[in-house]
Structure 1
């Protein structure tokens, strides 16, 4: 009985280890490099989008910190907003403009990902794998470090 239990545990360990190794190896260096390229471009795209959004907030006459306070209060049903009617009106205009900007920002993000030679689906799949796998995170970090060193 104990021998069969040990054998079962050993077989389970081998199966799990093999599966984990196969998952890690299923992401090639080329795929990880493409992901790194896409990730870097998406980060730049996000910074550009944030700057555009900041400009919209400021054009409506709201301070970024105040806009965020109002937004946070509106998203939390347990928190009351102390925003004035004028601030709420400005906040509404800003969020409306954000909603209008959203499709273009999404399109630009997808185009940025695809310009790196990877599909949106593959990018999202790799992102999920990387998030769950520390060795993939380390490999990705090594790519970023190497590229940063190449730029210096």
Structure 2
């Protein structure tokens, strides 16, 4: 009985290991490389977008930290805001401008992903797989580190 149980556990372990390896292997190095390129482009695009958003907030006369404090108070009904009426107006104006920027930012991100040869659907699908698979995360990280080293 114990021998049979050990055999069953061993078979289960082998099956699970094989399944996990198969899941990781269904993403080729080429696909992962394209994802790495797209991921890097998205990071660059995000940095550019953040700079634009910071500029909008500052143009309205608020520091980013103060904008964020007011935003937290707006989002949390239990939090009382100490913002002046002038600050609330500046925050509102900045928020409207930031919301208007959003569609263009999304277009730029999608274009940067697709410029690497991967569709947005494939990018999102791979992102979901990578998020759930530590082996894929490690492979992706290795590719990104190698490419950063090659650029130096």
TM-score class, shorter-chain normalisation, is over 0.9
Which deviates further from its counterpart, 110-119 or 138-147? 138-147
Q: Deviations over 1:37-69 (max 9, x none)?
A: 001111111111111101110111111110011
Give the whole-Å Cα distance in 2 for the aligned partners of 1:53 and 1:148.
Answer: 27
- Report the Cα offset of residue 150 of structure 1: 1.2
Counterpart mapping for 1:1-152 below 5 A: 1-152=1-152
Match of 1:82, SS state, is coil
Q: How many residues align?
A: 152
Runs (4+) of structure 1 exceeding 6 A deviation are none
Once structures 1 and 2 are overlaid, which stretch shifts more, 61-70 or 77-86? 77-86
Q: Give unpaired runs (5+ residues) of structure 1.
A: none
Q: CA deviation at 1:93?
A: 1.0
What's the TM-score once normalised by structure 1's chain length? 0.92
Deviation per CA, 1:103-145, whole angstroms, max 9, x where unpaired? 1111110111011111111111211222222221221111122
**How much has 1:3 moved relative to structure 2?**
4.5
Structure 2 counterpart SS, 1:73:
helix
Structure 2 residue ranges without an equivalent (≥5): none
Residue-by-residue CA offset, 1:9-60 (whole Å, 9 max, x unaligned)? 2332222111100111011110110001001111111111111101110111
TM-score, structure 2 normalization: 0.92
Partner Cα separation in structure 2 for residue 103 and residue 31 of structure 1:
27
Say what the alpha-carbon RMSD is for the aligned residues.
1.4
